[in-house]
Amino acid sequence: MSEESTVIIGIKEFFSAKLADLEAKLTVKADERDLRYAAMFTSRDTAIAAALAAQEKATATATLVSEKAVNAALAAQEKAVLVATESSEKAIQKAEVAQMGVNERGNEFRKSLDDYVKITMPRVEADSRFREIKDMVEKQALLIEELRRSESRGEGTEGSIAASRQQSNWVIALIVSTVIGVGTIIVTYLLVNHKQ
């Protein structure tokens, strides 16, 4: 496995780990939301059960007590239902606000993934560029070997100097293109990590 492939695989594993971490955080947030919903529904059920118990007690008392006691019990029941309804409405509003927050975080996550996809170079393109660099290096190696042979045979000094200059130009071009390629990978990596 070449060094370039190792770098690409390392970056892929890094981003896979980042993605798994973000998914775990999102799961934790969803679990917290589910716990809030459960607490809200338990509170509402308890309030309703208490209201129903009060109603049954008021009904039993109403049969034994005068008309005045029945009216008082009905007034108390109406107040209890009103309180339970208000509590339920408040809980629903809080749950809706919490859900909006979860939706916003989900949208931010999707946007960051979209940004990541836009700034990264596809693997096929990266492989193609690395192949081009490898081919250039191999051509340079052949030219160096040819130059060494011509110098050892004592072929023209002018031809050797021209070939040496051409070889130097190729080596410089190869070094510059390699530095640019590595710089592009590093900048992409830093941009992706900075957004997260």
Summarised one tens digit per residue, pLDDT across range 107-155 is 888 888 788 777 777 778 878 888 888 888 888 888 888 877 776 665 5
Give the residue from 130, 123, 131 showing the smallest Cα distance to 11. 123
* Rounded Cα gap, residues 81 and 163, in angstroms: 97
Tokens 């008309």 label which residue? 67
CB atoms near residue 80 (< 10 Å): 19
pLDDT tens for residues 8-24? 667 778 888 888 888 88
CB atoms near residue 73 (< 10 Å): 19
* Domain-wise residue ranges, the chain: 1-119, 121-196
> Whole-model pTM above 0.95?
no
The HSE-up count of residue 100 (CA atoms within 13 Å, CB side) is: 6
* Rounded Cα gap, residues 174 and 132, in angstroms: 10
